[in-house]
């Protein structure tokens, strides 16, 4: 069992923050490149490895729809070129699939394909060209209703569609993936970042055996005023009964920083509630608690200086390293910033 413990900041109380002229848990407090700090979630994904021939992986694409026809998910499936093992390919599933596609290039595919048993890749995204579909992911990745600030000002309330998405994955997406390629049901990884990291934990807690590895990068434990840290976790701890799973929890060091903001801003007030509900060391302490659960193998990693946005690539590359066996590329720049990570 692996659990990396790193130095934790002391949890901050809401009253203390208010009295101290409004300290705010800042996802972007540590200096990064301008591109990383201002990454535009409305940008188009453009050309990706899925739209170009690859020597190492064969890509297919399909779409599934909600029962009411109002929601559509676009899924890209990439199978290693070659003969599948008798039990099928291990499968690495990624949420925010549109954005995840940007982080792959032919060199990374070559490295993945060169492993003794390569992984099939499953990108679960949306039927548009947006890198991040904020409205859709807020609906789909959250187990209960909550509130979050938005870039343009103000907040958005809603969410609670995680169980519905999980049903879509289990009843529609997984069977269609299996129709196209054979995967090993005992080697299935689910990765997600931010709200998608919260979703990965929700699946761990509620759908035993759906995956065997759950990788949550910067999980939004603050969602719903920290509700995930309460009853859902406690029910899982009490009823896991030794079922085996691997859990990877990652956080950027810069996500634990604070900065000064205007307390009259409604977005700041939401952030202050986040801190009260899920202090800066919540992910680390969650890893410590889960490590004590019979059957779980837990690893926690903190990434020096990284803030929330850059953690998307860092946590994805770390998970691929830990699960698929490639080199650790978590310290390389994101292709979303227009930088070749292999240069």
pLDDT in tens, 12-67: 333 333 333 333 333 333 333 333 333 565 678 889 999 999 999 999 999 999 98
Q: pLDDT averaged over the chain? A: 85
More confident residue, 236 or 5: 236
Name the domain count of the chain. 1
The whole-number pLDDT of residue 153 equals 66
Q: Say whether 170 is catalytic.
A: no
Beta strands in 131-180 (DSSP E): 145-149, 155-159
State the greatest distance between any 2 C-alpha atoms of the chain, in Å, as a whole number.
64
Annotated catalytic residue, options 56, 194, 202, 330: 194
Q: Is residue 193 part of a domain?
A: yes
pTM: 0.86
Residue 176 belongs to domain spanning: 14-326
Q: Is residue 45 part of a domain?
A: yes
Annotated catalytic residue, options 147, 233, 255, 276: 255
Least confident piece of the model among 40-49, 92-101, 309-318, 322-331: 40-49
- pLDDT at residue 121 greater than cutoff 50: yes
The whole-number pLDDT of residue 61 equals 97
Q: Is residue 304 part of a domain?
A: yes
pLDDT, one tens digit per residue, over 135-190 is 999 999 999 998 876 666 667 778 999 999 999 999 999 999 999 999 999 999 99
- pLDDT at residue 128 greater than cutoff 90: yes
Which residues 6+ apart lie within 8 Å of 179 measured at CB?
none
User: For position 208, which CATH number holds?
Assistant: 3.40.50.1820
More confident residue, 224 or 342: 224
Helix, coil or strand: residue 68: coil
How far, in Å, CA of 258 to CA of 262, rounded? 13
Q: Say whether 244 is catalytic.
A: no
Q: Are 26 and 259 in contact (CB under 8 A)?
A: yes
Q: What percent of the chain has pLDDT over 90?
A: 69
Cα angle for residues 97, 103, 108 (degrees, 5° grid): 115
The whole-number pLDDT of residue 195 equals 96
- pLDDT at residue 294 greater than cutoff 80: yes
The whole-number pLDDT of residue 339 equals 55
Annotated catalytic residue, options 56, 202, 308, 329: 308
Q: Say whether 47 is catalytic.
A: no
Q: Is residue 294 part of a domain?
A: yes
Q: Is residue 7 part of a domain?
A: no
């Amino acid at each position: 069992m692996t659990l990396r413990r790193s130095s934790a900041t002391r949890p901050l109380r809401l009253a203390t923050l208010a009295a101290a002229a409004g300290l705010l848990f800042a996802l972007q407090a540590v200096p990064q490149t301008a591109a990383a700090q201002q990454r535009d979630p409305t940008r188009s994904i453009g050309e990706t490895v899925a739209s170009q021939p690859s020597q190492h992986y064969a890509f297919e694409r399909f779409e599934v729809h909600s029962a009411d026809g109002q929601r559509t998910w676009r899924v890209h499936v990439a199978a290693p070129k070659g003969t599948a093992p008798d039990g099928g390919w291990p499968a690495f599933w990624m949420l925010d699939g549109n954005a995840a596609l940007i982080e792959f290039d032919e060199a990374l595919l070559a490295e993945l394909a060169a492993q003794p048993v390569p992984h099939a890749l499953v990108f679960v995204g949306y039927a548009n060209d947006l890198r991040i579909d904020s409205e859709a992911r807020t609906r789909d990745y959250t187990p209960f209703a909550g509130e979050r600030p938005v870039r343009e000002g103000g907040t958005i309330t809603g969410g609670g569609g995680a169980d519905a998405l999980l049903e879509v994955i289990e009843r529609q997406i997984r069977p269609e993936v299996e129709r196209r390629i054979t995967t090993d049901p005992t080697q299935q990884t689910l990765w997600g970042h931010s709200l998608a990291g919260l979703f990965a934990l929700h699946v761990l807690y509620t759908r035993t055996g759906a995956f065997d590895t759950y990788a949550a990068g910067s999980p939004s434990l603050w969602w719903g005023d920290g509700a995930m840290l309460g009853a859902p976790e406690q029910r899982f701890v009490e009823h896991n009964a030794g079922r085996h799973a691997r859990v990877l929890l990652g956080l950027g060091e810069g996500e634990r920083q604070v900065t000064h903001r205007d307390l009259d801003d409604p977005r700041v007030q939401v952030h202050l509630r986040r801190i009260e509900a899920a202090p800066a060391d919540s992910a680390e302490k969650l890893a410590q608690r889960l490590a004590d659960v019979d059957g779980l193998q837990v690893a926690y990693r903190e990434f020096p200086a990284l803030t929330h946005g850059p953690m998307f690539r860092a946590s994805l590359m770390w998970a691929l390293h830990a699960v698929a066996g490639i080199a650790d590329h978590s310290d390389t720049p994101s292709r979303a910033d227009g930088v070749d990570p292999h240069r």
